Structure formats: C-alpha cells, structure tokens
Structure 1
Amino acid sequence: MADDATAAGPRQGGCACGAVRFSVDVTGTEMDACHCGRCRKWSGGPFMAVEVQNLSVAPEAPLGVWDSSEWGERLFCRECGSSLGFRMKDGPMVVLSAFVFDTPLTQPLVTEIFIDDKPDTYAFAGDTKKMTGAEVMAAFGGE
C-alpha cells in the first residue's frame, strides 16, 4: 500500500490519539484553506484541507459526525477531539484536514475561501486565489 507523499493509491492517517485510523484516496491536487467562523472555531484556526474519495474507517472507530449545517457534516474523533474532515450531506464532496496523514502531503496551498471572514491577525505567504463567502456559495449552488 503506497503512503509516500507523491505515490498514487490509498493514503493512511488518523487522529491525534490513534483511535480513528483511515485509508483514503487523495484526489485533490491542491490544498485549500477555509476562514469561515465555523471552521476556525472547529479546527482552532483556518481549516486547511484536500479533497478525497473512498474514505474507509473501521466501523468500531470512535468517529464522530457533527451535523454542522443544512448541507454539511464535520468528522472528528470522539476520544481526543481531533478535527478530521468535512463532507457534504448529499455526497459529492469529502475533504480531510491536510495534516492528519501519516506522511505529509505535498499539495500546494492554492485557494482561500470565506476570505471575507478571515481575521486580520494572520495571513499566508504567497499568492492564492481568494473567494468570498458569497462566491463560494454561488460556486456550490447555494444561496
């Protein structure tokens, strides 16, 4: 099973305490950062994530699911509280924190969303595409 930063195939990762372990195919070629207030409170800072498919978690793992909005759910460890990911309720998108993988990912930070919610106390180096909350909702067919 491949698990280096550039190999194709399933990647392994998990929460801080190790109670939730997963295998997943990383399909995103970039890392994105969300600055919305909910993500910042949930993850303790901007939520930086990559898109994935075929998420596999053992049925007995203490994976928590928080119904965080009318369209999305957040995944976390019920033992240690690690923020793991976000998924759309209707299934088209699953993203995991870029930092929960056993081997660090190499995807570059490309897009920052909900930039209008970002506090002035931090900024990322380099150029990124920046989208407001309204632009994000329009892109996903929201209001």
Structure 2
Amino acid sequence: MSEQIELSGNCMCGAVTVTATASDPVLRACHCEMCRQHNSFAFVNIQTDADSIKISGPVKVFKSSDWAQRAFCETCGSTLWCGMQHDGSRNLAAGLFPDLGGAKMVQEYFSDDCLIGDGFAGDHQKLTRQETFALFAPSEGDNQ
C-alpha cells in the first residue's frame, strides 16, 4: 500500500480552496460530451480519499445529468469536481493541485469519443463509451 499524501490547492482566482488526502493518487480522464463542453477537452481528476475532501469558498453545483453533477468556482469558473448523484462522491479536478498531485494517468473514460488524437499518451486503460456506461450507469446504455 502506498503512503497517503496531503493535497492542497485552489481554483484559478483563489476564492475556493480544496484539501484532501490521497492513498492512491492516480489520474483518470473522461472524454464524454459533457466533460468536453465543461472543460473544452477531457476532464482529468485525481483519486482522493472520499472522506478527506474539504472545500471552502463560493462553489456552484450544476446537475448535468440524472447521474452526475459538475461544480465550479462561482467567482472565476474553474472546474472543481464531477460528482455522482447516487452516492455523492466527488472526483476532484487534478488541475486544482500543484503538479497534479504527482499522480500518473491510469484510465480514460469514453476513449472512443475523444476528438483529438487518441487521448493521452501512455500505457493505461482506455474504456470505450459502452464500457464506461457499464461501469457507472448501466441503465443509461446508448441513451447518452
């Protein structure tokens, strides 16, 4: 088991601060249409310990689908997280943290929806649209 690290970061204007711990600090990227609209490219998140996340500042949350929500700084618009409606989990934006928390990319979602090349370089898992829905929202299927 790897050592737990402390993460501390903020949005672009500094109005929102975020702290968390990460026992397994890895990066995941999502190329779905909603993530591309929200971020102008893939949404890259860092895996953190769910019960460790502390956020302060002017946060705005938007329910982006029946199963997900997006959050951003109300002042500067920086992306903060993508969360799951069913369990309240939050996948924090890796860009909030200096040097992306030192994490490495391990997985991409909706890899067949990536519009720019083949996504991120490296030898990591790339799940297709069908594989991603099977993992997170099996009832959605091809309705997205």
TM-score range, shorter-chain basis? 0.7 to 0.9
Q: Which of 105, 122, 137 is matched with 2:133 structurally? A: 137
Match of 1:11, SS state, is: strand
In structure 1, the gaps of 5 or more residues are 1-5
Mapped pair 1:16 → 2:35: no
Q: Normalised by the size of structure 1, how large is the TM-score?
A: 0.83
Q: Which of 34, 40, 45 is matched with 1:44 structurally? A: 40
Cα deviation digits, residues 90-137 of structure 1 (max 9, x gap)? 226321111101454122111111012111446322222111111111
Match of 2:36, SS state, is: helix
* Structure-to-structure mapping, 1:1-143, within 5 angstroms: 8-52=4-48, 53=50, 54-58=52-56, 61-91=57-87, 93-102=89-98, 104-121=100-117, 123-143=119-139
Q: 1:112 to 1:29 in 2, by over 3 A?
A: same
Match of 1:105, SS state, is: helix
Aligned residues: 136
The answer as to whether partners of 2:111 and 2:118 remain within 8 angstroms in 1 is no
Q: Please name the residue that 2:142 is paired with.
A: none
Cα deviation digits, residues 74-100 of structure 1 (max 9, x gap)? 110010000111111122632111110
* Cα RMSD, aligned residues only: 2.1
- In 1, Cα distance between the equivalents of 2:43 and 2:73? 16
Q: 1:32 to 1:104 in 2, by over 3 A?
A: closer
In structure 2, the gaps of 5 or more residues are 140-144
Higher helix share: 2
Q: Normalised by the size of structure 2, how large is the TM-score?
A: 0.83
